[in-house]
Amino acid sequence: MIRVWPGERGSGSVLAVAIIAAVLVLFSLLLPLVAVFSVSQRVVGTADAAALAAADVAVGIRSGSPCEAAATVAVANTARLHGCLVDGSTATVRVTASVLGFEVSAQATAGRPPGESAVHAGRTGGTG
């Protein structure tokens, strides 16, 4: 026979409510961190794409202004171009985005490797 003490009635419900509250508090603390991390990864990809677009224009693959091409790519990826520097055939861009009041930014560089000219860009490295 199970004996129930009168003062312990409903203690399981209180424990269940406490566990649910703890899980909700943990979830509410982790959700902003996950959101910022997710946007950070998106901004890194956007910076890479914007730098590649600017370098394509700088090299002459596409026509137009390198920084305008980078800005177009950044806006298409829900970010904004914060800085653009073109040095010959190399483009460096900085892209920023906002999430939950935080500014997340990333920088990327694209173009030909230093010291490589357009003549050598098509070589495969063979000895033959």
Residue 35 CB contacts under 8 Å (≥ 6 apart), including other chains: 99, 100
- Predicted confidence at residue 14, as pLDDT, reads 85
- Predicted confidence at residue 120, as pLDDT, reads 45
- Predicted confidence at residue 125, as pLDDT, reads 44
What DSSP letter does each residue of 48-97 carry, written as one string?
HHHHHHHHHHHHTSS-S-HHHHHHHHHHHTT-EEEEEEEETTEEEEEEEE
Tens of pLDDT along the chain (128 residues) come to 666 666 666 778 888 999 999 999 999 999 988 988 999 999 999 999 999 999 999 988 888 999 999 999 999 999 999 999 998 889 999 999 998 888 999 999 998 776 665 544 444 444 44
Whether 114 and 89 have beta carbons less than 8 Å apart is answered as: no
- Predicted confidence at residue 69, as pLDDT, reads 94
Alpha-carbon span 71 to 66, nearest angstrom = 9
- Predicted confidence at residue 71, as pLDDT, reads 95
